[in-house]
Structure 1
Amino acid sequence: MKNFLTTTAVALALALPAYAAQDEVKEQIKDTASEAATAVENTADKVGETVAETADKVGETVAETADKMTPDTDQSMVQPPAIMPAEGYAVVEPATVTVEELEGARVYDANNEWIGEISKIIAEPSGQITTLVVDVGGFLGIGEKPVALNFDSFRLFRADDGKDLKAHVSTTQEELENMPEYES
C-alpha cells in the first residue's frame, strides 16, 4: 500500500502542473481569439467606410457626366441624309406619318444599308413627334442598343404601293453604336 500511495503522489505531483498549464493555455487562446475578433471587426469597419466613400465618388462622377450629356448634344451630330429615294419609293413629309407607321420601321444609313429599327417614338403632349429610339447592333434581337435621335435627323421614304416605310439617317451603324444608350 505504501508503494501505491507513493506512486499516486508522484503521479499527482507530475500531473498537477500540466493540468494547471492547461487552464492557462485556454485563457491565452480565449484572449488571442478575442483580439483577432476585434481586429477583424475594425478592419471590416474600415473597409465599409472605404467602400462608402468610393461609392459616393463614383456617384458624383456619374452625376457630373450625366449633367454634361444632353439629348441635343448627343443628337446634334446626326443630320438628315441627302439621298435620293430608292426605286419604288418616294420621299414622305414627316408630318404625314403616323406613330403606328413609324414603330418597327427599318432604319438605313446613307448607303442604304439596314442598321436597325425604330423601337420607340417620343412625342410632345400635342402629339408632335420629337425623338425616335433606334435599336442598333446585336444579332437576332440579342444585344441591341437603343439610341435616341431627333425626329428631324431622319428622312422618310414610302413604297409606291404605300405598304412599306423606310427611315434613313446620315450616320453609320458604328457611329450610332458609339452614342450613349437610351434609357427610358
Structure 2
Amino acid sequence: MKHLMLSTSLIVATAVPAFAGTETEASGSAEAEVQLETPAADASGEANVSGEAQADTDTMEQEAEELANEAEAEAEELANEAEAGAAELADEAEAGAAEVEQEASELATETENAAESMSDAVNPDADGPAMEALAEGEMTTEALTGAWTYDSNDEHIGEVSQVIVNTSGSVEAVIIDVGGFLGIGEKPVELTMGDLDIGKMDGDIRVKTHLTREELEALPEYQSE
C-alpha cells in the first residue's frame, strides 16, 4: 500500500511540470499572438484615417474646382452682358449722332433757302426790271422814310431813317442807317441827292447809291442838331 502511494506521488510530481510548462507556453503563445495582432490593428486604423483624410481632400478639391468653374462662368456671363450693353449704347449713340446730323443738315438747308429768299427780296436781280422813275410829287418825306437802300453792287445796305428838306421844301439829303442786324448796331450816314438814284420797283420806292458798303460804313456818323 505504501509502495502504491509513493508511485502515485511520483506520477503526479512528474506530470505537474509537464502541465506547468504547457500552461506557460500557452500563456506565452497568447501574449505573442496579442503582441503580433496589435500592430496590425494600429496599421489598419491609421490606414482608415489616412483614407478618410484623402477622401476629404479629394472632396474639397472637387468642390473648389466646381466653385472656380461657377465663378468663371458667372464672370464670362457678366463680361458678355457688359459687352452687349456697351454695343447697344454705342449703337444708340451712333443713331443719335446720325439723327442730330440729319436735323442739322435740314436746318442748314432751310436757313440757306431762307437766306436766298431774303436776298432775292432785298437784292433785286440786276437782270430784272429796272427802277421806274418817280412821278411828280411822289418824292415826299413820308414816301422816302423807310425805303430800302442798295449799294453799287445792288446789295441791301439799310433803310432811309430820315429825310432832310431845304427851305423851299425840296429833298436835300437822306439819312441812311447802314450795317447792323435787325436794327441793332446800325450807323446813320448822310447822303446827298447827288449820291442817290431814287425810283420805284414793284410799286415800292427804292433808293440806290453809287457807293459801296465799305465806303458807306467809312462815312462819319450823322449827328442830328
Normalising to structure 1: TM-score of the pair?
Answer: 0.49
Q: Which structure is higher in strand share?
A: 1
- Structure having greater relative contact order (Cα 8 Å, sep ≥ 6): 1
Q: Which structure is higher in helix share?
A: 2
Who wins on radius of gyration, i.e. which is larger? 2
Normalising to structure 2: TM-score of the pair?
Answer: 0.40
